[in-house]
Amino acid sequence: MKNALLLLKEFEKLGYLAYIVGGSVRDYLLKSESFDIDIATSATPDEVMKHFKSSPIGIKYGTVLVFFNDEEFEVTTFRKDLEYFDNRHPYGVLFSKTIKEDVARRDFTINGMYLDNEFNVVDLVGGKDDLEKRLIRSIGNPDERFREDALRMLRAFYLVSKLDFEIEEETLKSIIRNKELIKNVSAERIYREISKIISYDNSLKALDLMVQTGIYLYLPGLHQGIKYIVDNHILLSGEYFFAMCFYKNSKVDKFWKLSNKEKLTYQKVIEFLNHKGEIDNNLLYQYDYEDIIIVAKLNNYLNVFDINEYDMIKMYHKLPIKRDSDLDISNKKIINIIGIEPGPWLSDLKKEITNMILSGKLYNKEEDIKEFILKRKDKYEK
Ligand code: ATP
Ligand code: MG
């Protein structure tokens, strides 16, 4: 905060208006920590870049990242958004010289306050009042604001999760009316906001409201999971949350832009949880540690397998081998013992060795494995 205030003074010396704005003012008034400090100024992006060490990060929307006293600040020129199209993009922005226009494009009253370098709060939208009443209220007409950018509806739930506030009645009714518009927002933006929602203490309250408003039905592949999580009061964040949702959905929904690795993990978790029968070493061996910790946690709630989280992870750690390369014998040595050209027989034999080791009938020691191979030589020579 100290450096941010010093930066405001620098802007003032240069003859510009500058304020700390948005979430950082909200968090400051709530005496909670802000991770990022946003600054709004009357200086244009070119002017900001001329005077400060900076890099343009969202120049189209007037945002420049300023490096000041070893800290980074997102500095955005006061602006007025032109009309929005497709519920997510303005046709363009116009820079302006006053906060009166700048505040009108912000989402909620509690995010619409400005702090000057002497700690005066400039509040043109009743943000302080709503902060005291612990209310999330759209600035202006909520229907219009959600039609402009439908992601704002999810931002309301994010604020519920983070602050334990209520959504003001008209704003909430408007979300119910406009919920379908969330379909027009990109998967990346929705995913980011949902990840934020589930990372805070009051995520269940937020998810419950998402069920009540019906907006959860428009989140591809997540709605069965969200309903289950809410009905059973389950606190899950990050990949545990998404894994539970995709399991309840029986598959990963293609809508989400996941990396191949993430997709594979979720698929493996679903496959594991759908396994019929007992858990044994052979089953565990087919999965990675990352898969196991998710399965073990979800199983606490799902009770698919009769084993607790701790014991399942312990069982995985105790596997005598965890992957092919853990075998205490090289392919070359196996081939030498059998004495024929490598072929499909090699993987068959290795599978046999692996099974013996996993079921505790053979030690993973080269000498023991050699002895076993010699006994099986007849089968593979032919
Ligand atoms: P966080 O605690 O996650 O930083 P935040 O409210 O500060 O929450 P930011 O993404 O940092 O969120 O945005 C900073 C400010 O920009 C907000 O407080 C709000 O005033 C405005 N803002 C952000 N996203 C939108 C949006 N989609 N529509 C309108 N205003 C927005
Ligand atoms: Mg912020």
Cβ of 36 below 6 Å from ligand 1? yes
* Atom 27 (ligand 1) nearest CA: 152
**pLDDT tens readout for residues 81-125:** 888 888 888 888 889 999 999 999 999 999 999 999 999 999 999
> Within this chain, do residues 19 and 83 fall inside the same structural domain, yes or no?
yes
Q: How many CB atoms lie within 10 A of CB 269?
A: 27
**Rounded Cα gap, residues 334 and 377, in angstroms:** 10
How many angstroms separate the alpha carbon of residue 326 from the centre of ligand 2? 47
Q: Is 151 close to ligand 1, i.e. is its CB under 6 Å away?
A: yes
Looking at the structure, do residues 277 and 333 belong to the same domain, yes or no?
A: no
Residue (of 81, 102, 93) closest to 148 by Cα position: 81
The CATH number of residue 100's host domain is 3.30.460.10
Does the residue 291 lie in any domain? Answer: yes
Angle between helices 238-248 and 260-273 (to 10 degrees): 60
* Residue 295: other Cβ atoms inside 10 A: 28
| CA 334–ligand 2 middle distance (angstroms) | 60
Q: For residue 38, which atom of ligand 1 is closest to its CA?
A: 14
How many A from CA of 311 to the centre of ligand 2? 41
Q: How many residues does the chain have?
A: 382
Task: Determine contact, residues 102/96, Cβ cutoff 8 Å.
Answer: yes
* 359 within a domain of the structure (yes/no): yes
Tokens 């870049």, located at residue: 49
State how beta strands 54-58 and 121-123 pair: unpaired
150 and 101 in a common domain: no
154 and 191, same domain (yes or no): yes
Indicate whether 308 belongs to any domain. yes
Separation in Å, CA 112 to CA 151, 189, 334: 17, 21, 71
Residue 344 lies in a domain: yes
**Cβ < 5 A residues, ion ligand 2:** 23, 36
Q: Are residues 6 and 112 in the same domain?
A: yes
For the residues of 19-55, what is the DSSP string, one character each? EEETHHHHHHHTT---SS-EEEESS-HHHHHHHSSEE
Q: What are the backbone angles phi and psi of residue 31, rounded to the nearest 5°?
A: 55, 30
User: Ligand 1 in contact with 149 (CB < 6 A)?
Assistant: yes
Nearest one of 32, 51, 33, 23 to 115, comparing CA atoms: 23
Closest atom of ligand 1 to CA, residue 34: 2
First to last CA, the chain: 77
6 and 80 housed in the same domain: yes
Q: Tell me the CATH number at 372.
A: 1.10.246.80
- Which tokens is 189 given? 């933006």
Q: What residues are paired with 85 via a beta bridge?
A: 89
pLDDT in tens, 10-43: 999 999 999 999 999 999 999 998 888 999 999 9
Report the predicted TM-score, pTM, of the whole model to 2 decimal places.
Answer: 0.92
Closest protein CA for atom 8 of ligand 1? 23
Q: Are residues 14 and 108 in the same domain?
A: yes
- Report yes or no: 41 and 18 within 8 Å, Cβ to Cβ: yes
CB-based burial label for 188 (10 Å; 0-12, 13-18, 19+): exposed
Whether residue 118 is found in the same domain as residue 4: yes
Q: Is residue 264 one of the residues assigned to a domain? A: yes
- The answer to whether residues 282 and 339 belong to one domain is no
- Pick the residue whose CA is nearest to atom 18 on ligand 1: 22
Candidate of 77, 87, 107, 144 to mutate for ligand 1, largest count of ligand atoms within 8 Å of Cβ: 107
The verdict on 102 and 52 lying in the same domain is yes
Pocket perturbation via mutation, ligand 1, pick of 29, 73, 101, 106 by most ligand atoms within 8 A of CB: 106
Instruction: List the beta strands (DSSP E) in the chain.
Output: 18-21, 38-41, 54-58, 63-68, 71-77, 79-81, 84-85, 89-90, 93-95, 113-115, 121-123, 135-136, 166-167
For 327-367, how does the pLDDT look when each residue is reduced to its tens digit (9 = 90+)?
Answer: 999 999 999 998 889 989 999 999 999 999 999 999 999 99
pLDDT digits (tens, 9 = 90+) for 56-85: 998 888 999 999 999 999 999 999 988 888
Instruction: Give the three-class secondary structure for 123.
Output: strand
Structural domain containing residue 307? 260-317
Q: Do 17 and 111 share a domain, yes or no? A: yes
| Same-domain pairing of 120 and 5 | yes
- Contact residues for 314 (Cβ-Cβ < 8 A; gap 6+): none
Q: For residue 252, is it within any domain?
A: no
Q: How far is the CA of 196 from the centre of ligand 2 (A)?
A: 12
Q: Which of 102, 126, 150 is the last residue of a domain?
A: 126
Among 126, 159, 179, the domain boundary falls at 126
Question: Which residue lies with its CA nearest to atom 17 of ligand 1?
Answer: 22
Domain count, the chain: 4
Residue 243 covered by a domain: no
Residue with tokens 């894994």: 243
Residue 380 has pLDDT above 80, yes or no: no
Residue at a domain's end among 126, 146, 165? 126
Q: Confirm whether 67 is domain-assigned.
A: yes
Using 50, 70 and 90 to split pLDDT, how confident is the model at 287?
very high
